[in-house]
Amino acid sequence: MLELLSFGPNGWGGQLLSGLAMTIAVSVSSFTLGILFGSAGAAAKLSHSLILNGIAEVYTTIVRGVPELLVIYLLFFGGSGAIMAVAGIFGYEGYIEIDAFSIGVAAVGLISGAYSTEVIRGAVQAVPVGQIEAARACGMSRWLILRRVLVPQTLRYALPGLGNVWQLTLKDTALISVTALAEIMRVAHVASGSTRQPFLFYSTAAVLYLLLTTVSTAAFERAERRANRGVRRA
């Protein structure tokens, strides 16, 4: 039975490994995209514009309140149509197809971003106002304050929350196997279909995910220790 997991001609080891690489690639891309969305969302929520506040509020409420699978279906079935409609406005009439990877990253990034928004907003608000005032009193420009005072500290405060978002993102990528992108779940699904050993392949998938979550928990712990090395503990 273990021959099925080997890297030989009868084994699925190679495919599982490339599935693992695909899962990592999708997770990292979506997480990065999510941080971009999250920063934009947090900036919008903290701005004094009522319109921006409203847009960010609607974004986080809807995306966090609707099942992830539904968001993925929306982009999977509706993504091409929406892009073609936009392209049609600019006079392009051809057919546009988006690949499963981009759709997956867009969908999971959108979800990840909604959670990151709240994490980043909380972290920005955790930076004491006095520090911003002090920086301004020293004559720093807004941009310089952002770069030297706000962002480094926000990162430190946001790290534990972003660690949670990363774990969520990692597990959400399993859902884009419904779009036939060959990540861990999809490979396990195909392999168990053709070998009639579903238990073997789904438990292998489970082990691979456990490996990823365990390694990333350790990595985030190290990152937190490093980020907090200048902080005195009570």
Binding residues for other proteins, rule: CB under 8 A, are 61-62, 65-70, 73-74, 77-78, 81, 171-175, 177-178, 185, 188-189, 192, 196-200, 202-203, 205-206, 209-210, 213-214
Q: Which is nearer to other proteins, 116 or 192 (CB)?
A: 192
d(CA 227, CA 230): 7
Q: Is 29 helix (H, G, I), strand (E, B) or coil?
A: helix
CB of 130 to other proteins, least distance (A): 30
CA 191 – CA 185 distance, rounded (Å): 10
Q: Report the residue number, 78 or 128, with the smaller CB distance to other proteins.
A: 78
Dump the DSSP string for 189-206. HHHHHHHS-HHHHHHHHH
How far lies 163's CA from each of 116, 169, 193, 208, in Å? 10, 10, 34, 19
Give min distance, CB of 80 to other proteins, in A.
Answer: 10
Contact 183, 176 (CB under 8 A): yes
> Closest approach of Cβ 120 to other proteins, in Å?
19
| Residue number, 37 or 209, with CB nearest to other proteins | 209
Cβ nearer to other proteins, comparing 45 with 186: 186
